[in-house]
Structure 1
Amino acid sequence: MTTATAGLSTRPVIDAGRWPDLTARRAKVRRAVEGAIARRIFLSVARRLPVRIQLGREAIVGGAATDPTAPLMVIERPESFFAALGAGGLIGFGESYMTGDWNADDLGGLLEVFAAQMGTLVPEPLQKLRAFYVARAPHTDKNTTTNARNNIARHYDLSNDMFATFLDGTLSYSSALFEGAEDVGRPVRDEVVTTSVPSSAPTWSLLPDAQRRKIDRMLDSVGVGEGSRVLEIGTGWGELAIRAASRGARVLSVTLSSEQQALARERIAAAGHADSVDVELLDYRLVEGQFDAVVSVEMIEAVGHEYWGEYFRKIDSVLAPGGKVAVQAITMPHDRMQATKYTYTWINKYIFPGGFLPSTEAIIDVNRGQTSLRVTERLSFGQHYAETLRLWDERFIAALDRVHALGFDEVFDRMWHFYLEYSRAGFRSGYLDVQQLVLQRKAA
């Protein structure tokens, strides 16, 4: 599936003040050695994958070199590309796309091939040396109560208007749930597991209803209705709080984004629910009170693995007797989660500082070990996220003039496009999933 990229600059002008790491240069000898090693490893990987790689004016190589339908990666400046890859690994891979060292008409399709082989891209002998060559996250990215607000602000406070260029009218920045077939599988560890795939490739006009469907399913799963006391961890721009309040619930929604708080309050007031919804700029660890339902949509990804126990213990402590919890979480395979737990990634550096995806097993185990909560239901709908991201990316590319008018440059265009397609590739390949999990206290 190809995402149109008309208007996306293939040779962006790089502002060194805004993007210092994209213009930094390493010592000539070190750069040459790192580049040579990276070239050898990359081409070795490419030869066993169904892709085509065009190195400047050299012949096309790759495991599908003669297949015109295979994704094509055009490396415009091989020396710069391999130097970036050698110096920064997967961070360098993303940075070299940002600078225009390489391009792909079907970026999502190309990245999907890589994502499907994520666990084996790096040769096994080098994987054993992972701790010695992968970057570590800066101490400031650790989600302490001091750092967490800054980490959130670096993403969510970019600009409400920028997010509005590609989100639908609900301003929901999480996976939608389109019409699709659901398959209820056999219970796993006392939980009911359901999977869902979209019935067709959805169009933009279907996205708002799909976002509301996602929210309503969560609210239904925890019994939100007239008089319910609801805690929302991670406000977004207020759509869930609005829909909960429309059912007669009283909502406390907490966020660390001042931009989101301001706009959410405006939207909630415009919907007529200012008296029943409080949106507070507050760390989830500082919440007090008792709630009949706790809901959190794609917020656990920003918690940090060191704090998952604290996150669920706080939820456990504020949940009223008989209450339920609904968490929508992006998940990754447990073995890859363990292998990458301390890795600093391109996504951490440029998109979500301090973020890390849990596995389903990690969520289940942390609750079994540290809380009275147990997962009782799970809905898996990763392919819905792939379609959500496709629609967002198409909308973003179509709105580049508006993005530029807000002060964002051509490097940002490529960074955001890479982020959306990189994420979409993860879900399309099955490497990533998104799940709605329902938790309640274990029976006495």
Structure 2
Amino acid sequence: MSTTDAGLHHAGFHEASANAIAAGPPLPGQDVPGAPHSPLRAAAAGRLFRHAVRRLPVRVAVAGGERLGAGGPEAPLMRIERPGDFFHRLGADGKIGFGEAYLAGDWSSPDLAELLTRFAAQLPSLVPAPLQVLRRWVDATQPGSERNTTSGARRNIHRHYDLSNEFFAAFLDETMTYSGAPLRPGDDLEAAQLSKLDSMLDLAGVRSGTRMLEIGTGWGSLAIRAARRGASVTTVTLSEQQRRLAVERVRAAGLDDVVDVQLRDYREVEGRYDAVVSIEMIEAVGWEYWPSYFATLDRLLVDGGRASIQAITMPHDRLLATRDSYTWIHKYVFPGGLLPSVRVVERNVEVNTGMALAERRGFGPGYAETLRRWRERLAERHSAVAELGLGRTLPRVWEFYLAYSEAGFRSGYLDVWQFGLHKTARR
């Protein structure tokens, strides 16, 4: 997916796109708001933070000399450079404030992913149980403007994927595949991504002559791979920039006669297909639309057809506890996003489709390694990314986002699954 630094050039936003977003939440490259002032909340946040880290295997060095954490000399280090601002942000909104404090430079770490992994491993118990019942009154809730209606989904996808094709090319491999791969240390990233694509096509039974629908085009890697098997492919996306580059890549591969790249919501797709494939698109659907998503897969599949879905998942109890929460990732990276649980997938297949879950494969550790490679590649191309003109905060936003996600997989809090679904053939 990635290109050389010399191949990166200024892209920015289309003028109309920038105007459409200007009134919404902060763009990834915008400066972080100044620290709020709330002494009582800051004092409470300080007590909770100290309680949370006292048994964690980390080291916390607070400016002024205070030392916290239960980690030894080799434990990951967190430096709180501006404790006043840090605790004020944490007190104003713990979920968002912790990440904003990192963006603002209130705290730092020489081993960010490892530090966040230690926090993620204890995530359910960081806040004392008696205080967890207050979540519904303390947590910010997702704004109605970010619901994944047909118009809301377009805005949400636009804010994430239309950032800049050149930006994503800075850290992805040559296939431009922006999803987890079953990658092990020392493996070639591109080869692992191609193996993942083949695995998804195999689950859906894609071969020569297959009429295949892809929900979530990305930059065209799966569509190209399927077409080279002899399939005729319709692929849909809500990202204008993704569609533009996918069309170019399909044309360059000489496959534009068998691959149709459409700017279309999955709910608006018509026709019937032998196979439907969707890789890490369900995370952008939203919990209230998951039944519609699965019903759409079922409606579009012919009897006897097959589907494959790759999904990042979280524990079901955590999903139920946090599904309405508004987080740092929503605000700065991926508005409207929500990870399903395995139980959500199983239940929706059972209730909202005529399909059966035939196979399931997981590779969470491989996703952690994928994210580590992306984070390292992005750091290596820091100067080229800066030349894209997307804002001085953007590299720090994505450093934190990729490390935060890596920590989720490394700790086992997050996982990723490929689901193979078969639609019963009517007699």
* TM-score, length basis structure 2: 0.91
Is the 8 Å Cα contact of residues 264 and 279 (structure 1) preserved in structure 2? yes
Alignment-derived partner of residue 113 in structure 1 = 118
Aligned residue in 1 for 2:326: 344
Stretch of structure 1 that moved more, 251-260 or 372-381: 372-381
1:127 equivalent to 2:132? Answer yes
Q: Aligned equivalents of 1:148 and 1:59: distance in 2? A: 46
How many angstroms does 1:80 deviate by? 0.3
Partner of 1:413: 395
Whole-angstrom distance in 2 between the partners of 1:442 and 1:245: 25
- Secondary structure in structure 2 of the residue aligned to 1:147: helix
**Any idea what the Cα deviations from partners look like across 1:261-312, whole Å, max 9, x if unmatched?**
0000000110110000000000000000000000000000000000000000
Question: Could you list the runs of 5+ residues in structure 1 that have no partner in the other structure?
Answer: 1-16, 179-197
Q: 1:339-364 deviations in whole A, cap 9, x for unaligned? A: 11111111111111000000000110
SS at structure 1 position matched to 2:32: helix
The equivalences for 1:322-337 within 5 A come to: 322-337=304-319
CA contact (8 A) 1:230 1:295 kept: yes
Secondary structure of the structure 1 residue equivalent to 2:182: coil
Query: Residue deviations 1:332-387, cap 9 Å, x none?
Result: 00111111111111111111100000000011011211211221110010000000
Count of residue pairs the alignment pairs up = 400
Match of 1:22 among 16, 32, 42: 32
Written as runs of structure 1 = structure 2, the 5 A alignment for 1:140-289 is: 140-178=145-183, 198=184, 201-202=185-186, 206-289=188-271
Cα deviation code 1:140-191 (max 9, x no counterpart):
110001111010000000000000000010000001123xxxxxxxxxxxxx
Letter in 1 for 2:45: A
**Matched residues in 2 for 1:85 and 1:397: separation?**
27
SS at 1:227's partner residue?
coil
> Structure 2 counterpart of 1:244, which letter?
A
Quote the Cα distance in structure 1 between the aligned partners of 2:33 and 2:147: 26
Following superposition, the deviation at residue 440 of structure 1 comes to: 1.3
Partner SS for 2:417: strand
Q: Give the conservation status (yes or no) of the 8 Å contact 2:58–2:76.
A: yes
Q: Which amino acid letter does the alignment assign opposite residue 50 of structure 2? A: L
Q: Secondary structure at the match of 1:251?
A: strand
1:16-70 per-residue CA deviation (whole Å, 9 max, x = no partner) reads: x9777833454x4xx1111110000001100011111000031321112xx1110
Are 1:202 and 1:387, in contact at CA under 8 Å, matched by a contact in 2? no
Letter of the structure 1 residue corresponding to residue 62 of structure 2: L
C-alpha contact 1:305 1:358 (8 A) present in aligned 2: yes
Match of residue 386 from structure 2: 404
Question: Matches of 1:215 and 1:287 in 2, distance apart?
Answer: 22
Structure-1 separation of matches of 2:224 and 2:103: 37
TM-score by length of 1: 0.88
Check the 8 A contact 2:31/2:392 in 1, yes or no. no
Tell me which of 30, 34, 39 is aligned to 2:46. Answer: 39
Counterparts of residues 298-313 of structure 1 (less than 5 Å)? 298-313=280-295
Cα displacement (A) at 1:221 = 1.4
Would the aligned equivalents of 2:31 and 2:393 in 1 still touch at CA under 8 Å? no
Does the residue aligned with 1:90 lie in a helix, a strand or coil? Answer: helix
Identity value in percent: 53
Give distance in 1, aligned partners of 2:282 and 2:409: 18
Distance in 1, matches of 2:314 and 2:142, equals 19
User: Structure 1 runs of 4+ off > 3 angstroms?
Assistant: 17-21
CA RMSD of aligned residues (A): 1.4
Q: Does 1:317 align with 2:299?
A: yes
1:243-265 residue CA offsets vs partner (Å, 9 max, x unmatched): 00001100000000000000000
SS in structure 1 at match of 2:294? helix
1:121 is matched by which residue type in structure 2? L
Instruction: Give, as a single letter, the amino acid of the residue that structure 1 aligns with 2:32.
Output: L
- 2:209, 2:232 within 8 Å by CA — same for their partners in 1? yes
- The match for 1:54 among 61, 71, 85 is 61
Q: Which residue identity lines up with residue 286 of structure 1 in the other structure?
A: E
Q: What's the CA shift for 1:443?
A: 7.5
> For residues 89-108 of structure 1, what are the structure 2 equivalents within 5 Å?
89-108=94-113
3-state SS of the aligned residue for 1:146?
A: helix
Aligned position for 1:292: 274
Cα drift, residue 409 of structure 1: 3.3
Structure 2 counterpart of 1:175, one-letter code: G
SS of aligned partner of 1:92:
helix
In structure 2, the CA distance between the partners of 1:248 and 1:111, relative to structure 1 (3 Å rule), is same
Residue 208 of structure 1, CA deviation: 0.6
| Partner Cα separation in structure 1 for residue 30 and residue 414 of structure 2 | 31
Q: In structure 2, how many angstroms separate the alpha carbons of the residues matched to 1:442 and 1:32?
A: 61
Contact 2:237–2:262 at 8 Å: present in 1 too? Answer: yes
SS at match of 2:212: strand
The residue that corresponds to 1:440 in the other structure is: 422
Q: In the alignment, is the contact (CA less than 8 A) between 1:81 and 1:102 conserved in 2?
A: yes
- 1:76-98 deviation digits (Å, cap 9, x = unpaired): 00000000000011210000000
Q: Helix, strand or coil: the match of 1:80?
A: helix
Aligned equivalents of 1:21, 1:266: Cα separation in 2: 34
Paired residue for 1:72?
A: 77
Secondary structure of the residue aligned to 1:177 is coil
Distance of 2:360 and 2:424 partners within structure 1: 16
Contact preservation (8 Å) 1:115, 1:429: yes
Q: 1:118 Cα shift?
A: 1.3
